[in-house]
Structure 1
Amino acid sequence: MIKLTAGAGEAERVNQAFTVGASAVAAGASVSFWLTGDAVFFAVPGRAEGFELPHAAPLADLVAAVLEGGRLTVCTQCAKRRELTEADLIPGTRIAGAPAFVEEILADGAQAIVY
């Protein structure tokens, strides 16, 4: 489980989280990637394409890798505060709340990383 709490203003944290998530997917790990706070905007089509960080993989490619081999989740409350619904998000992204998050982090063998 990877939880990203940072938005575009903290580019290195954002890139680190998605790089670790995409790398974990490539290594065959089961990845659940949660977006909270302003990080939820990375699940909106076109937002990752506008993100730039020198010497980093394109964020859109990292998001796609996470979606291809893992699960991308947007926090329910965070989405509501930003007036986002699943229709506003990249296909394959879900909206879920604290009960789903707690269930995932308490699963046997689960490891959580927060950025």
Structure 2
Amino acid sequence: MERVLVIKATAGEDSPERCNQAFTVAAAAVASGVRVSLWLTGEASWLAVPGRAEQFELPHAAPLGDLLDVVLSGGRVTVCTQCAARRSLTEDDLVKGVRIAGAPTFVEEVMADGAQALVY
């Protein structure tokens, strides 16, 4: 059974350390060969808009844009449907490869055999 790590980032620039931790763990997992699904909710949703992750700064942390690239290279990134709607975002507004999906998809992912979920 393949293990899957599902990570939900609930913070963006409003809580930079928590946000960066989610991206760092997701990128480290992808680099280690783990199947990863990173969910961006709340203020983290903005980081899926082109250029926004590159503007994110946190001292002594890897650049968020680089971390996002790593996750997209070997994992999946999803913006929550309601979070996207509240910010008037569509998939056309997002970095290529980022999808929009809702709670039923999130529940399906976290309840799958072999899934491990983390929320930041």
Match of 2:69 among 64, 67, 71: 64
Size of the aligned set, in residue pairs, is 115
Give, as a single letter, the amino acid of the residue that structure 2 aligns with 1:102. Answer: V
Instruction: Report the CA distance between 1:7 and its aligned residue.
Output: 1.6
Give, as a single letter, the amino acid of the residue that structure 1 aligns with 2:20. Answer: N
Give, as a single letter, the amino acid of the residue that structure 2 aligns with 1:84. Answer: L
Residues 32-51 of structure 1 mapped to structure 2, 5 A cutoff = 32-51=37-56
Structure with greater strand share of residues: 2
Structure 2 unaligned residues grouped into runs of 5+: 1-5
Which residue does the alignment assign to 1:28? 33
RMSD over equivalenced CA pairs, Å: 0.5
Which residue does the alignment assign to 2:105? 100
TM-score relative to the length of structure 1 = 0.99
TM-score relative to the length of structure 2 = 0.95
Runs of 4+ off more than 2 Å:
none
Instruction: Report the CA distance between 1:96 and its aligned residue.
Output: 0.2
Structure 1 unaligned residues grouped into runs of 5+: none
